[in-house]
Amino acid sequence: MHYRLEMRSQTAERLDLEHRLSTAIALQQFELYYQAQVDCHSDRIGSLEALLRWNDPKSGLLAPARFLGVLESTGMILAVGEWVLERAVTDCERWWRMGLAPLRVAVNVSALQLRQRNFVSKVLRLLERLGPCEGFGLDLEITETALLQDLEGTGAMLEALRAAGVRIALDDFGTGYSSLGLLSKLPLDLLKIDRAFVAGIPHDPSSVAIVENTLRLASVFRLITVAEGVETAEQLRALRSMRCDQWQGYLYGPPAPALEIEPRLQRS
């Protein structure tokens, strides 16, 4: 009896969350926060990662871990993902008009988005808006799981986007099972080292070995490397000594709304 009541409660909570997310799309309750990706050697911001946040009237500001699974399972991620891309381009246009230094914005893309036949055409239409904004551009961050669902079709799609100036980043590298094969088969530009490995450096020998070998591997494929989750000066010094290209994390600052990140971009 207790089990059935618990199941009913979970089902009711899930349905409530689905309804609130549907309302969030209609009322535009989402917001983009940005986290800087900093050059390891010049300390300049070269790009920003766009991170989705939900201003939920019931629970306050929520990170994707609280609701992303429901967006994906219901298909609502398609509408939200399109909004994220459009908003990122709109922010780039504003920063260009402000006279800020050129930068790129990285947007996470789901497997469902990649399976859309018109995904490439949608991105290309958005890129047309960035045409006058010299030096500004889009990066797409894609997980290994999303790529493996249709390796051949995804590869052709990514080639078309790269030809238009989009850079492709493999996100959460090292957390899957076929990453080495992907590096040789897919058109990639950036490799993001998962925070789980960065957290252990410089004191955990296993983490140090994994990060060092990943960086060497990336150099073979001529990929730009980005270390995620950098929180201490020790970690940053270690990454610099290993010749990592870029880093992001709370050592520089937490993700912030566009209006709050702009003063940092002006200083950078």
Q: Is 76 within 8 Å of 62 (Cβ atoms)?
A: no
Burial 185-208 (b: 16+ CB within 10 A, else e): ebbbbbbbbbbebbbbbbeeeebb
Residue 144 scores a pLDDT above 90: no
Give the Cβ contact number of residue 176 at 10 Å: 15
Residue 82 scores a pLDDT above 70: yes
- What gap in Å lies between CA 180 and CA 201, rounded to an integer? 22
Give the pLDDT band (50/70/90) at residue 222.
very high
Structure confidence at residue 13 (pLDDT): 82
Residue 231 scores a pLDDT above 60: yes
Q: Is 223 within 8 Å of 229 (Cβ atoms)?
A: no
- What gap in Å lies between CA 87 and CA 32, rounded to an integer? 8
Average pLDDT over residues 57-81: 95
Of the two residues 76 and 14, the one the predictor is more confident about is 76
Which residues are registered as beta bridge partners of 106? 49, 139
Q: Nearest-CA neighbor of 127 among 114, 116, 117, 140?
A: 140
Calculate the average pLDDT of the chain: 91
Residue 29 scores a pLDDT above 80: yes
Q: Is 106 within 8 Å of 92 (Cβ atoms)?
A: no
Percent of the chain with pLDDT over 90: 77
Structure confidence at residue 209 (pLDDT): 95
The pTM (predicted TM-score) of the whole model is 0.91
Amino acid, res. 205: P
The token duo for 252 is 């520089």
Q: Which of 145-154, 167-176, 232-241 has the highest mean pLDDT?
A: 232-241
Q: Is 56 within 8 Å of 63 (Cβ atoms)?
A: no
Q: Is 229 within 8 Å of 198 (Cβ atoms)?
A: yes
- What gap in Å lies between CA 54 and CA 62, rounded to an integer? 5
Amino acid, res. 251: L
Q: For each of the domains in the chain, give its residue range(s) and CATH number, in order of start.
A: 2-267 (3.20.20.450)
Q: Is 86 within 8 Å of 79 (Cβ atoms)?
A: no
Q: Using one digit for the tens of pLDDT, what is the confidence trace for 95-127?
A: 999 999 999 999 999 989 999 989 999 999 999
Structure confidence at residue 146 (pLDDT): 74
Residue 3 scores a pLDDT above 60: no
Residue 168 φ then ψ, to 5°: -110, 125
Residue 179 scores a pLDDT above 70: no
Dihedral of the alpha carbons of 43, 45, 51, 54, in degrees to the nearest 10:
100
Give the pLDDT band (50/70/90) at residue 177.
low
Structure confidence at residue 202 (pLDDT): 96
Residue 238 φ then ψ, to 5°: -65, -40
